[in-house]
Structures are given as structure tokens and as C-alpha cells.
Amino acid sequence: MARYTLNLLCGALVLLILVPVDVVAQNHDHAAMGHDMGGMAAGDSVTWRMPPMDMSMPMMPGMHGMNPSAPAYLPLTPQEAMALPDARPRELVTMADGDTLHLHAMMVKRKIGDRHFAMFGYNGQIPGPLIRAPQGSKVYVHFENHIDQATTVHWHGLRLDNRFDGVPGVTQAPVEQHASFMYELKFPDEGLYWYHPHIREDIQQDLGLYGNMLVDPSREDALPRVNREEVFVLDDLLVDGSGPLPYGQDAPTHALMGRFGNLMLVNGVPDYRMSVKKGEVVRFFLTNVANARTFNVTFGNAKIKVIASDVSRFEREQWVDSVPIAPAERYIVDVRFKKPGDVAIANTIQAINHFRGEFYPHVDTLAIVSVADEPVSTDLSDEYLALRTNADVVEDIESFRSSFDRPVDYEIELTLKHQNLPLPIVAMMEIDTLYVPPMEWNDAMPMMNWLSTGNEVTWVLRDVRSGRENMDINWTFQKGDVAKIRIFNTPDSFHPMNHPIHVHGQRYLVLSIDGVPTQNLVWKDTAIVPVGSTMDILVDMSNPGEWMMHCHIAEHLQAGMMLSFTVEEEGTAGSP
């Protein structure tokens, strides 16, 4: 491709130097830009602030003074926010079969630094209530919407009835401000799930609308014993001295790389601490609710035993040194704290400095575990040190093994299109694309990323055989089908990036990456497709209805990266 050549590279550099300042005008006429978000009215009074910059990276020529092409939005001004109730920590709600939970999406205020800001919370909590229920149960959630825009609740990972999946315009109408909706949740699978809006996740989820569901396995011995359980919601928030950076009112900002935050949060707070006794074995239930960031979670130098992921336990428990977790993924891991003292739970990455052309080690502390001198009363070391094989999981997966070699049913390519992007961004991306990493660990181009909105960028899931894209795709399956889908994340696009691909309402196995078979299988609903890689997944089409498959980077989803498929009931007449 021409873009890999010296000619273009030099040309791009020249462009960068020559392009005049203020290519894109700042004076958006807010009144003229239609508002398609119901009651969201605050945008008119909100002005753009530049994203916080790492001063070691020079400002790209030609970008000074530019603003995103969408009007700026924040829920309320800090002054207005003062009247809101304070966000509260998450509360546990233990539910039995048939129980009902009243869940309200609300405006709350939250203190960051020494100022208060308007955010969102389910029942005023960030994260929202932790729903704990037994496997096989069914519960009801009476949901009311009291934020300033329409919303829905998606119950991520649950194989529930299609009409409760929370996809606006497909499974339900948006829940308008002060309206309500009754959800019915089914928990056929054990493990850790989460709920979040399926409208403008880039805003609503980012501002605090997320919560977990913990489904206790019916088998009593499904999981090894531990001394303590901790549910960790990992997140990041993009803030400056004045609070959260404004969002795009009618289109997401950060459409290229997604909105990476600069404030790391565990369970909604930047300074999460917990105390344990010496020798305690702690089970961490990890969920990544960040818009775009994949974390590489370390627990000091402790060995980590990985037990389960999205929709099941692994075939075999396994020792790992860190837990890479993409947006929407979950992992359940056990860690033993052997020595007294503080242990930092951290995001430990090799970040990229594009200008210098180098990787550099970067560590963000997510939480601190204080390990006391006093030893734990029940020593579970032996159990912790043993690695178990989950015969029931192996057996379940075994029944799908005859489909592992089936032909590929559908093949999709991950790519993007762009229009009307400022010229300096286009020029810079051409250079940057000389090398793209398999994964993006940091926002190394905060200005360019911020300036690209859903108005300029369309992320694409392209059906290779039909040429159809995104919601023009609707595959049809029969209940009970097992489908092999090949996902190729082409490095040959304007801005290649890793994508966590989520399938609604079903479970799938990652069979292989780049033709290398997965050694230790687990049922997933979301998995990372690195740049340049081909991932084959095997989907158990067990749940009838019209479902979505999409990238879980909030800005990519909002910029179009979603397709649909229908699973027909057995015996239903064939489709066109």
C-alpha cells in the first residue's frame, strides 16, 4: 500500500509542517446541530476544554485551537450539581428466585479532588447495586430512568430472554426520562456478569452507570474455598482540574482510539484500600467497565490463579503473572497475600510514545492491600496451591468439539472509514500506521483522538462474503446451531486497533488466534481481537431472538461497530 512508502511518509511530514492553524472552525452553531438525545439540554452552556496532555509529547502542528465537531455536553454545572445527593458506595442485594429489585438511574454528585461534579449512579450508587443470586434463578428488576436522557439496561453476558436484552430500537424502546421498564433476568450460567446502559455508553457508563451480578454456582464444590471475596470494578475517567472532560452531545469524541481516562478507579474511587490478614487467600471478581482501556492487572509479585472468565470456569485452573482484561471482560482470580505490608494492585503496561518511537514502562496503582502481621485463622494454602481441572466444564465443551473443525460460517473484517477529518490528523495517522501494536495500552495521541468524533469516523464490521457492513448484516441461525465465525482485525486500515468483540445473549469459545488453537478453553461473551490477528470463535446459538455482536469500546460502538443476528426457535420456517 502506498501509505507504507517513503514518498507518502515524507509528504505527510511536509503536510504537517505546512498545514495552517485552525483548519476546522471552532464556532459551532449549537442550536443548528440537532439534539437526538431527548432531555439532554445542558450542552448549550458547556464549552470544550482541551484534553490533559503529556507534556513530553509535542503538540501536533495545525491542531492548536481546534475543537471536536460535536457540541460539548456535561450533565450539570458544578454549581448545579451541589443540589444532588452524594454518590454512595455499592450495596449488596442478595436475591432469591422470584424477587424484585427497584433500580433507578439517578443523577448524583461526586467529589474528585476538592470539587463536586454531576455524575450518574444506579440507586445513587457507584458502582450500582451488586446483585447476588443463585444459578438457575429468575429475578425481576423494575427500572426507572431519572437521568437527563433516554437509557436502557443491558444485562451483559446473561443468556436471558431477548426482549429484556436492553437494545434500543431492537428489543425495546428507549426508556425516556422518568419512564420505567420491567426487566426479567435469568441466570442459567454461574459467574460474574454486569449491567450497563445500551445508549451512549461513552457518556452514561463512563459517568457511573455500571454494576455487577454475581451468580453463585449450583454445584457447591465448583470453586475452591477462599478466605475472602472482593468484587473489583476497574474503570478510568478522563478529568482535568475542572472535572470530567465534556462529552460530545450528538456524537462521541475520541472516536479513533476510544476515551482513555487519566484517573484510575476501583469500585468508583481512585484510592481503593483493603486490609487482609497474613496468608489470606482472596478471590477477586474483576470486571473492566472502562470505555476503551485494556488493563494488565498485577498483584505485587504474587502468583495469580485464574479460575474463570465471562460465562464459565476454565477447563483448568492456571497460574499467571498478570491479568490482561479488555473492556467488558471478566476474570475470577485467586491471590494469596503471604507477607505483611502493603501490596499494590496495579495496571502494569508498556505504553507507547509515538513521537519518540518507543515503548516505556508505565505503572498505575489501582488499589492498595494492607497485609496485617496477624495470620489468617483458616489457612487455605493447600487448596490455593492446588490447580484443579473442572471436569464439568471439560465435559460440556467436549460436546462441542466435533464442531471445532467445521467450515467457517461467517467471516468478518474489522476496519474503519473516515470523512472530513482535519488534515493534520489524516497526515499523522498515515505515519503512525507504519507500526501498529497488537494492543493499544494508552492514548498516545490525545489531541487527535479527542478531535475525532462519530461524525468523522465510522468503525466497521464487514461481512467479507456479502460485503455488508454493521447493522446491514443480519445473519440467521436456528436454535441449537453451532456457528464458526472468523474475525480478522485488518492491519491495513486507516487506524488499526484492537477490539473487544461482544456477542449478546449467547456464549462462545475462542477456538484459535492466528491458527494456534486455544489450550485452555472457557466460555466467553467478550474477547480481544488484536491488530493483525485472526480469531476463530465458536458460538453456541442457544438463545432465540435478534441479538447484537459489537465492539465494546464505547466510542467504536457509538461510531457504528455493531451487527445483528437472529436465532430462530426450533421448527421456525427458514428465513429468506
Partner 1 sequence: MTATSILLSVVLTLSMSLANGASTSAPGLEVSGDHANACVVASLPGPEYYRIDLVPTRRLVGSASVNGYGDVYFASSPFGVALTSTGHYAYDLKVEVSGLRERSGKEYVLWVTSPSLDEIHRIGPLVDGRLSTRVEMNKYLVVLTLEDAGVTSNKWQGPVVMRGMSRSGLMHTMAGHGPFESEPCAQYGYR
The residues that touch Cu ion, with contacts defined as CB under 5 A, are: 499, 551, 553, 556
Kindly state whether residue 258 participates in binding partner 1, applying the rule CB under 8 A: no
Cβ atoms of 106 and 121 within 8 Å: the answer is yes
Count Cβ atoms below 10 Å from residue 78 Cβ, excluding itself. Answer: 14
Of positions 235, 236, 280, 413, contacts partner 1 by CB under 8 A: 413
Q: Binding to partner 1 by residue 26, rule CB under 8 A?
A: no
Q: Which of 302, 295, 229 is nearest to 264 (CA)?
A: 295
443 in contact with partner 1 (CB under 8 A): no
Q: For the window 281-310, what string marks contact with partner 1 as x by the rule CB under 8 A?
A: ---------------x-x--x----x--x-
State the Cα torsion 144-38-472-561 to the nearest 10°: -80
**Single-letter residue type at 72:** A
Q: Which of partner 1, Cu ion, none does 134 bind, CB closer than 5 to 8 A by kind?
A: none
Applying CB under 8 A, which part among 77-85, 244-252, 319-327, 452-460 lies near partner 1? 319-327
Q: Distance between CA 454 and CA 555 in Å, rounded?
A: 8
Taking alpha carbons only, the member of 551, 466, 542 closest to residue 505 is: 542
Nearer to Cu ion, 93 or 503 (CB): 503
The residue range among 95-103, 123-131, 366-374, 428-436 that interacts with partner 1, by the rule CB under 8 A, is 428-436
Q: Residue 132 or residue 316: which is nearer to partner 1 going by CB?
A: 316
56 interacts with, out of partner 1, Cu ion, none, CB within 5 to 8 A per kind: none
Which helix (H) or strand (E) segment holds residue 464: the answer is: none
* Position 471 contacts partner 1 (CB under 8 A): no
4 binds partner 1 (CB under 8 A): yes
For Cu ion, the closer CB: 108 or 199: 199
Distances (CA, A) of 433 to 11, 58, 143, 294, 379: 14, 18, 45, 20, 52
Residues in region 350-389 near partner 1 by CB under 8 A: 350, 352, 354-359, 361-362
- Which amino acid is it at 317? E
Q: Within positions 494 to 513, which residues make up the interface with partner 1, using CB under 8 A?
A: 498, 510, 512-513
Closer Cβ to Cu ion, 252 or 544, answer by number: 252
* Residue 127: closest CA among 243, 275, 285: 285
Tell me, residue by residue from 526 to 545, as one string, x for binding to partner 1 by CB under 8 A and - for no binding: -xx-xxxxxxx---------
The site that binds partner 1 (CB under 8 A) totals a number of residues, namely 72
Q: How far is the CB of 569 from partner 1 (least distance, A)?
A: 32
Half-sphere exposure of 116 (CA within 13 A, CB side): 16
Between residues 326 and 369, which has the closer beta carbon with respect to Cu ion? 326
Helix %, strand %, coil % for the chain, to 5?
15, 40, 45
Closest CA to 487 of 442, 418, 551, 546: 551
For strand 239-240 and strand 243-244, is the pairing parallel, antiparallel, or unpaired? antiparallel
| 298, three cell numbers | 498485577
Residue 499's binding partner out of partner 1, Cu ion, none, with CB under 5 to 8 Å set by partner kind: Cu ion
**Which is closer to partner 1, CB of 38 or CB of 61?**
61
Q: Is 79 in the site for partner 1 (CB under 8 A)?
A: no
Asked whether position 519 contacts partner 1 by CB under 8 A, the answer is: yes
Closest CB to partner 1 among residues 7, 377? 7
Shortest distance (Å) from residue 63 CB to Cu ion: 23
Residues 98 and 137: their CA atoms lie apart, in Å, by 8
Q: Least separation, in Å, of the C-beta of 550 and Cu ion?
A: 8
Query: How far lies 15's CA from each of 8, 9, 62, 424, 556, in Å?
Result: 10, 10, 9, 7, 28
Count CB neighbours of 382 within 10 A: 7
Count of beta carbons in the 10 Å neighbourhood of residue 365: 15
Q: Which of partner 1, Cu ion, none is residue 556 near (CB under 5 to 8 Å by kind)?
A: Cu ion
354 contact choice in partner 1, Cu ion, none (CB below 5 to 8 Å, kind-dependent): partner 1
Tell me, what amino acid is at 291? N
- Under the criterion CB under 8 A, does residue 92 sit at the interface with partner 1? no
Q: Which residue, among 65, 84, 71, has the nearest Cα to 41 in the 3D structure?
A: 71
Q: Which of 212, 40, 38, 216 is nearest to 125 (CA)?
A: 212
Q: Shortest Cβ distance from residue 303 to partner 1 (Å)?
A: 10
Q: Which is nearer to partner 1, 177 or 518 (CB)?
A: 518
Q: Rounded to whole angstroms, how far apart are CA atoms 496 and 491?
A: 5
CA distance 276 to 229: 11
Specify burial of residue 32 (Cβ count, 10 A radius: 0-12, 13-18, 19+): exposed
Residue reference for cell 460535536: 70
Nearest to Cu ion of 157, 252 (CB atom)? 252
In angstroms, the CA 500 to CA 507 distance is 15
In the complex with partner 1, the residue whose CB is nearer, 126 or 448, is 448
| Least Cβ distance, residue 570 to partner 1 (angstroms) | 32
Q: How far is the CB of 448 from partner 1 (least distance, A)?
A: 13
Residue 234 is placed in which grid cell? 476497574
Q: Is 429 in the site for partner 1 (CB under 8 A)?
A: no
Contacting residue, 488, 508, 523, 547, with partner 1 by CB under 8 A: 488
Q: Which does 413 bind (CB under 5 to 8 A by kind): partner 1, Cu ion, none?
A: partner 1
Tell the smallest beta-carbon distance from residue 315 to partner 1 (Å).
Answer: 10
Smaller CB distance to partner 1: residue 277 or 354?
Answer: 354
Told to check if 318 binds partner 1 by CB under 8 A, we report yes
Question: Of 9, 269, 344, 380, which lies in the binding site for partner 1, with binding defined by CB under 8 A?
Answer: 9
Which one of Cu ion, partner 1, none is in contact with 474 (Cβ closer than 5 to 8 A by kind)?
Answer: none
CA distance 6 to 19: 20
- Looking at residue 22, its amino acid is D
CB of 404 to Cu ion, least distance (A): 27
